[in-house]
């Protein structure tokens, strides 16, 4: 099936003319026979849009590689067509503008600083301390306060394929967020079940690159989920290569090889998931990557990489039109609005300054001490007086 590859104009601002390679007429016919199969295949997956939730959960400078991992996946996903409005990117720390970064405003993923994955069109939705377990679960389940802006929401529907990529430090059954809290595999499985109940996804691909990553997908029980992890339970995921100029490890092995794999994917490629499962064998990765497909309805052979990593739209040719009669349109609907008298605009009061300046300090309501405190004090006093004798009481009162 790779013969039908033809070159596409990639998403770059400098168009280069790449003519589609048709040599002679007969090849055109053969080509079109094949393209009917492809058109049918487009509809096999049943999704109409793609979303991606990319999460980096660690902070501090020495966890540079987790941010680089996430940004590399972000870059690939954008290159393959998913727009920023459909990506929720959560980075727990800022490496590009970290005071310890010798090359500010860059995040590199290859040594010798070959590839800057930070670029100038990175759109981070949850940054720094906003990356918490609570926010992550709120994004997934949709139980978000109404004031949240659209870019921070996962507005998927029942025809969305979602890619969820998580990286950081983890253990057997948990993933650490921000060095202070953790998410367990049970909670994650429950969150996915909540998503399924509300049909917030059509199919879900879950990739995790942490130590003992396979434990995170053990507890899933919702349908249409495929999961990949960088290591089995009991194994550690290792990092790839340090850069002596920056001083930290730049990437993790599993994500590094996944990215090498993804670099060869373009929006029209027909590579399927079985190839992704083969990425990073034990010889390269030292850990054993694992995957889980029993909850997934389709055969991984039929699942294209671009079903999750890219955003290949289904299109249909429009064959019908609606007959309109221009004479029936009411002419009085045309209002000459450039002649409307404009009333002078007033600048709305932004702050009630007068109220703020003359504000009295708000009185905090006084609450009596709670039962626990009272009980504790009563106990202490009782013990004191019993130990030292009741005769002291009369000196107190």
Partner 1 sequence: MSYICRRFSAQTFDADPGDSGWWQQQFIGLLSQGSETIEVLGGPQGSGWFWGSPKCCAEVRGADGSWDGGRGPGLRCQVTLLFAQFQLTVPVSVVFAKGALPGAQQRRLPFADTQEEESLLNRKNQADAALLPLQEDSLGALTVYVIPETSPLLPQGVGVYVGKHRSAVMRCPQGPGDVLAAVSARVQQIVQAMSFTTDSITAALSDRVPMDQLGTDTRRPFKSSLGYEITFSLLNPDPKSHDVHWDIEAAVSGYVQPFLDKLGSVANFSVDSQILYYAVLGVSPRFDKASSSFILSALSLPHVINPVEARLGSSATSLYPVLNFLLYVPERIHSPLYIQDKDGAAVGTNAFHSPRWGGIMVYNVDHPAPDKALLPLRVDVDMVRVMEVFLAQLRLLFGISQVPLPEEFLLESPGNKGLTDWELDRLLWTRTVENIATVSTTLTSLAQLLDKIGNIVIKDDVASEVYHAVASAQTAMLELASGHLGSAFQASKEAVISSERAFFDPSLLHLLYFPDDQKFAIYIPLFLPMAVPILLSLVKILREAKQSKKEPTKTD
- Catalytic positions are 169, 211
In the sheet that holds 290-292, the strands lie side by side as 126-127, 87-91, 49-56, 160-167, 203-209, 225-229, 290-292
Which tokens belong to 3? 């013969």
Only segment of 163-171, 219-227, 272-280, 357-365 that touches partner 1 (CB under 8 A) = 219-227
Given its phi and psi angles, is residue 240 left (phi above 0), alpha (psi -120 to 50 degrees) or beta?
alpha
Which residues face 116 on adjacent strands? 108
Contact 160, 199 (CB under 8 A): no
Which tokens belong to 5? 């590859």
Q: Which of 244, 328, 353, 396 binds partner 1 (CB under 8 A)?
A: 328
Specify the residue, 35 or 105, whose C-beta has the smaller distance to partner 1.
35
Only segment of 3-11, 167-175, 343-351, 358-366 that touches partner 1 (CB under 8 A) = 3-11
Distances (CA, A) of 245 to 67, 70, 97, 106, 241: 18, 21, 16, 13, 12
Specify the residue, 329 or 373, whose C-beta has the smaller distance to partner 1.
329
Specify the residue, 143 or 282, whose C-beta has the smaller distance to partner 1.
143
Specify the residue, 42 or 62, whose C-beta has the smaller distance to partner 1.
42
Distance CA 190, CA 206 (A): 14
Specify the residue, 178 or 231, whose C-beta has the smaller distance to partner 1.
178
For the range 391-394, what are the long-range contacts, defined as Cβ-Cβ under 8 Å and sequence gap of 24 or more? none
Which tokens belong to 148? 């949240």
Specify the residue, 317 or 356, whose C-beta has the smaller distance to partner 1.
317
Distance CA 172, CA 353 (A): 54
CB of 368 to partner 1, least distance (A): 23
CB of 184 to partner 1, least distance (A): 10
Distance CA 194, CA 200 (A): 9
Distance CA 61, CA 80 (A): 29
Only segment of 56-64, 155-163, 339-347, 353-361 that touches partner 1 (CB under 8 A) = 155-163
Give the count of residues interacting with partner 1 (CB under 8 A): 81
CA 49 to chain centre: 15
Positions in 40-59 near partner 1 (CB under 8 A): 42-43, 46, 48-49
Specify the residue, 153 or 169, whose C-beta has the smaller distance to partner 1.
153
Positions in 226-285 near partner 1 (CB under 8 A): 267-268
* Site for partner 1 contains 333 (CB under 8 A): yes
Q: Which of 41, 128, 172, 197 binds partner 1 (CB under 8 A)?
A: 197
Positions in 115-154 near partner 1 (CB under 8 A): 133-134, 137-138, 141-145, 150-151, 153
* Site for partner 1 contains 83 (CB under 8 A): yes
CB of 319 to partner 1, least distance (A): 7
Instruction: Give me the DSSP letters along 113-160.
Output: G--BSS-S----SEEGGG--HHHHHHHHH----TT--GGGS----TTE
Phi and psi angles of residue 72, each rounded to the nearest 5 degrees, phi first: -70, -40
Only segment of 52-60, 95-103, 350-358, 383-391 that touches partner 1 (CB under 8 A) = 383-391
Q: Which of 32, 244, 354, 356 binds partner 1 (CB under 8 A)?
A: 32
Only segment of 27-35, 62-70, 246-254, 269-277 that touches partner 1 (CB under 8 A) = 27-35
Q: Which of 130, 179, 187, 236 binds partner 1 (CB under 8 A)?
A: 187
Which tokens belong to 81? 């067509």
CB neighbour list of residue 242: distance below 8 Å, 6 or more residues apart? 111, 248, 249, 250
* Site for partner 1 contains 194 (CB under 8 A): yes
Positions in 298-327 near partner 1 (CB under 8 A): 311-326
């Amino acid at each position: 099936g790779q013969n039908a590859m033809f070159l596409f104009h990639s998403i770059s601002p400098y168009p280069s003319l790449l003519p589609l390679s048709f040599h002679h007429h007969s090849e055109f016919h053969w080509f079109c026979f094949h393209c009917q199969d492809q058109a049918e295949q487009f509809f096999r997956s049943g999704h109409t849009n793609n979303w991606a939730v990319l999460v980096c959960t660690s902070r501090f400078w020495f966890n540079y590689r987790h941010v680089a991992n996430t940004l590399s996946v972000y870059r690939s996903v954008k290159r393959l067509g998913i727009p920023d409005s459909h990506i929720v990117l959560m980075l727990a720390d800022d490496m590009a503008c970290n005071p310890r970064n010798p090359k500010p405003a860059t995040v590199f993923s290859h040594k010798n600083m070959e590839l800057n994955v930070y670029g100038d069109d990175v759109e981070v939705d949850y940054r720094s301390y906003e990356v918490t377990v609570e926010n992550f679960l709120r994004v997934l389940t949709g139980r978000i306060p109404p004031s949240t802006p659209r870019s921070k929401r996962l507005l998927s529907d029942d025809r969305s394929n979602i890619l969820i990529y998580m990286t950081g430090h983890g253990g057997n059954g948990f993933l650490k967020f921000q060095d202070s809290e953790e998410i367990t595999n049970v909670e994650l499985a429950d969150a996915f079940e909540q998503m399924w109940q509300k049909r917030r996804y059509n199919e879900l691909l879950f990739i995790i690159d942490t130590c003992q990553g396979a434990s995170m997908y053990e507890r899933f029980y919702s349908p249409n989920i495929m999961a990949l992890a960088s290591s089995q339970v009991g194994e550690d995921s290792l990092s790839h290569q340090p850069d002596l100029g920056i001083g930290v490890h730049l990437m993790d092995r599993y994500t590094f090889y996944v990215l090498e794999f993804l670099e060869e994917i373009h929006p029209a490629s027909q590579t399927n998931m079985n190839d992704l499962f083969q990425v990073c064998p034990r010889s390269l990765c030292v850990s054993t990557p694992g995957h889980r497909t029993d909850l997934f309805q389709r055969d991984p052979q039929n699942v294209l990489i671009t079903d999750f990593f890219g955003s290949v739209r289904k299109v249909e040719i429009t064959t019908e039109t609606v007959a309109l009669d221009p004479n029936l349109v009411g002419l009085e609907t045309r209002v000459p609005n450039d002649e409307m008298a404009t009333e002078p605009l007033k600048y709305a009061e932004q702050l009630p300054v007068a109220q703020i300046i003359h504000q009295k300090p708000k009185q905090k309501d006084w609450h009596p001490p709670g039962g626990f405190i009272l009980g504790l004090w009563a106990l202490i006093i009782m013990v004191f007086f019993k130990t030292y004798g009741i005769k002291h009481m009369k000196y107190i009162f």
